[in-house]
Amino acid sequence: MIYTHRPLVWITIFYGLGIAMSQIIPMSFAWLCFLSMLSFIMSIVVLKKSTLSVAALLVTFILLGATYTQSRMMPAKNHIAGVVKFYRHQPFIVKGVIVSDVQKRNFGRGRNSTFTLRIKMLKTPYGWQEKSGEILVNAFRDIDCVYGDYILIEGKLHQPYNFSTNEHFSYGDYLRNKGIYSILSVKKDAPIEILDSHRANFLLEGAIRFKNKLEFLLAQGLSPNEAGLMQAFLLGDRVNISPRLRDLFVQTGTAHILAISGMNVGVVAAVFLIFLKIIPLPRLVQFLITIFLLVGFCLLTGASPSVVRATIMAIVFLISFMLEREGDSLNTLSLAALIILLINPLNLFDVGFQLSFVCVLSIILFYPIFKSLFDKPPKTEHKSLLRPCIESICLSMAVWLGVVGLIAFYFNIVTPVTILANLIVVPLSSLLIILGLSLMLVGAIFPMWILPISACIKLTLNILVGSIYLFAKIPMAYFYIKNVNLWLLAGYYIILISVLYFLYHKRSIFYEGDSKLYLGQIN
C-alpha cells in the first residue's frame, strides 16, 4: 500500500494538517491531549483491521500536530508577553542575551543595529524580576555587541508595524511565528551596557564569528554592492542588496538565488567532496567530513528552514551513498519537513518554508513528466548539447509551475520569464558560489589569489546582473495581479494535482530515478 511505501509522507501531511487545524479550530490543550490519547488507543484496539487502524493512527498524527502547536504557543508563567502592555508609555529596561547575529545597515545619515534579545531580567517598580521570552531590538546606532553578549539595555517597547501592503503577509505574524511579540526601539543616546559575554550556544557563536570574518574577506576585494550579492549567495545575508537590484530579481522570478537553498547547499557539498578527494582519505571518511562541514555551513548561514531542508536532504543522500542504498526522494523531503516542523510547528506558515518545499516537490513530481516528453530528442550531431538544455528547460518549467501560485498569492506577481531566466541565472549563480568559496578558502591562506578571484567574481556578477536586467525588459516578462485569495490558490493547486494524477495513472511516466538524478545535484 502507498502508506507503507512512503510512511513519512503521510505522517508529515497529517501532522501538518494538525498544525493548520490548531489555528483554525479553537480547542483547549487538555481536550487535544485527551483526544490524541483516545485516537492512539483506538488504533491499537483495531490493530487487526488494518484500514481502521491506519485511519485512527493518521487522526492521531493530526491531533498530535494540533497538541504540539498549542503547547509551543502557550507562554511560560514569567513570559515577557504578559507584562509588555504595562510598558508602552514608559522606559523598558531589561537584561538579556543576544541570540542572533547583530545586523548593521545604513539608516538615513547614520547606522542602525538589529538583533534578537532573549530576556533574563526585567526592571520593575518592585526591583529586578526574572522573565523569559524574546524581543527584536532595533538600535539607532552602530553598537559593538555581538552574539552571546549579556547586556543591559533601555528603550521603548511597541508592537511590530506592518509595512507590507499585501493582505496575505503580516510582519507581526512573521515575528510571532518566531516567538517574538514586541520590538524594542533604542535611541542613539540610550544606555547599552555589556555585562558578560559567551552566554549563548558556543557552536553558533563560533559560526557567527567565522561568518563575520568571511564577510570582511569578501569586502576586501569587492565593491559594497558586489560584496552584498556575494554575501547573499554564500551566507544568506541579504541586508546589503540595493532595493533596485532586489526588484530586478523579483520581477524576473530569480530572487530564489539570493536565498540559501538546495542549489547552494548542493554546490557547497560538491566543492567539499572535490576538495576532500585531493586528500588521501577513505571514501567513508570523506562523506563523514562532508556531512560535518554541511552542518557547519547550515549554522553559518543562520539555519533558515530552506537551509535546514536542503542540509537534511543532502545528508540523507550522502548516508544512502555510504550505505550503498537507494533512498526515496519524497520520504527524504518529508523527513526534512517533519524535523523543521518539530523544531517549530509555526514554520508551516512561513513563506520561505512553503516556497522551499513546494519547489523541491515540483522537481520530484513534474520534472520526470516534462523530461519524458523529450526522452527521444532529434538524432543530430548536437545531441550532447541539446540534452542539458532540454533538461534545464524541463527543470525550470517544473519549478515555475509549482511555485507560481504561491508567488501570485503572497507577492501579487506572475513572472513567465522565469523559465528562460533560470537557464542563464542558475549556472551563473552556481559559478559565483564556487568562486566565492574559492575566495574564502584559498584567499584566506594565499592572499595573493584574492585579486584574481575577485576579478572573476566581478565579471560573472556583471554578466548575471546584465542578463537579469535584459530579461526584465522583455515584453510581458512579468505582470502584477490582484485579488488572489485563498480559494483561487486552492483551486490552482487542485487542478495541478488533478493533472498530475491523470498523467501518473494514465500515462505511467513518473519515474523516481529521474528526479533523484537531478535532486542529487541540487541537494
**pLDDT tens for residues 42-85?**
888 776 667 788 888 889 999 999 999 988 887 778 888 777 77
Q: What is the pLDDT of residues 493-519, one digit of tens each?
A: 999 888 887 776 655 544 444 444 444
Question: How far is Cα 36 from Cα 71, in angstroms, rounded to an integer?
Answer: 13
Q: Mean pLDDT across the stretch 336-353?
A: 88
Backbone dihedral angles phi then psi of residue 113, each to the nearest 5 degrees: -125, 130
Please give the C-alpha separations between residue 240 and each of 46, 58, 72, 232, in angstroms, as whole numbers: 58, 45, 33, 9
Q: Provide the residue ranges of all domains of the chain, joining segments of one domain with +.
A: 2-73, 80-200, 210-522
What is the residue whose three cell numbers read 547586556? 151
DSSP 427-479: HHHHHHHHHHHHHHHHHHH-GGGHHHHHHHHHHHHHHHHHHHHHHHTSTTS-E
294 contact partners, CB below 8 Å, separation of at least 6: 265, 268, 269, 272, 311, 314, 315
Residue 443: pLDDT band by 50, 70, 90 thresholds? Answer: low
Single-letter amino acid code for the residue at 355: L
- β-partners of residue 96 are 119, 151
CB of 100 closer than 8 Å to CB of 116: yes
For residue 161, give the DSSP letter: P
Question: How far is Cα 183 from Cα 116, in angstroms, rounded to an integer?
Answer: 9
Most confident of 325-334, 429-438, 445-454: 429-438
Give pTM, 2 decimals.
0.83
Residue 163: pLDDT band by 50, 70, 90 thresholds? Answer: low
Q: What is the pLDDT of residues 213-225, one digit of tens each?
A: 888 877 777 888 8
Confirm or reject CATH 3.30.410.10 for domain 80-200, answering yes or no: no
